[in-house]
A and B are shown apart, each in its own frame.
Chain A
Amino acid sequence: SQQGEEDPQALSIQEGENATMNCSYKTSINNLQWYRQNSGRGLVHLILIRSNEREKHSGRLRVTLDTSKKSSSLLITASRAADTASYFCATGRLNAGNNRKLIWGLGTSLAVNP
């Protein structure tokens, strides 16, 4: 699989349900970030988890990181129709110096039905 591959590619759920999206990566990372993109719009930063962290919470978001499996998950609890968007994981490499470029996955397209 390619760096930062998410699955599922598309997810459709009912409002109020939880949504779980997964991301896998290949190389050693310094951090992993999740972003959200509404259709055709900009990338909004959601949460960053460092390589030495295992779990992080922000409001209804919960992110886990398993560096042994090179994978991360994003859980959105009690989803709302407004959560409908594409969700991307992006990894920051280890020892990237001043660059810190992000490597992106294809994203998960989440549809939350009212």
Chain B
Amino acid sequence: EPEVTQTPSHQVTQMGQEVILRCVPISNHLYFYWYRQILGQKVEFLVSFYNNEISEKSEIFDDQFSVERPDGSNFTLKIRSTKLEDSAMYFCASRGTGETQYFGPGTRLLVL
């Protein structure tokens, strides 16, 4: 069964460093999402992406964040200058023509 994959599974970085989180959505899906979950808190929407552009972004998704679909398979989230409060689990999701969003296993980011 097709699934969303994410790499790396864990990343530790120093404050101020750039990180790139990678996702491979399900191959025939058209809609892509990033969410994050700070430990013990709700899952929060960050950004949605369709037809090679951002369709909606949350207040969290400030100028430090960017997304890209550099080729036909990868979908990346870049945080330019990480802050302590960016420590969270980051989930990528993709959706086909239906309503269900399929999530990857997540990348646990720890900013020191």
Contacts from A to B (Cβ < 8 Å): 4, 30-31, 33, 35, 40-45, 48, 50, 88, 90, 92, 97-107
Contact = CB atoms under 8 A, between A and B. Distances in A.
Contacts of A103: 45
A45 B31 contact: no
B18 interface: no
Contact of B101 (A88, A97, A102): A102
Contacts of A88: 43
Nearest to B103: A43
Given A30-B99, A100-B31, A102-B101, A42 B48 contact: no
Nearest to B45: A101
B99 A31 contact: yes
Given A33-B101, A40-B108, A48-B100, A102 B55 contact: no
Contacts of A33: 99-101
Contacts of B55: 97-99
Q: Name the residue among B35, B42, B45, B108 with the largest chain A CB count within 10 angstroms.
A: B42
Interface of B: 31, 33, 35, 41-45, 48, 50-51, 55-56, 89, 91, 93, 95, 99-106, 108
Given A42-B91, A88-B43, A106-B42, A101 B104 contact: no
A101 B43 contact: no
Contact of B56 (A43, A92, A99): A99
Nearest to B50: A98
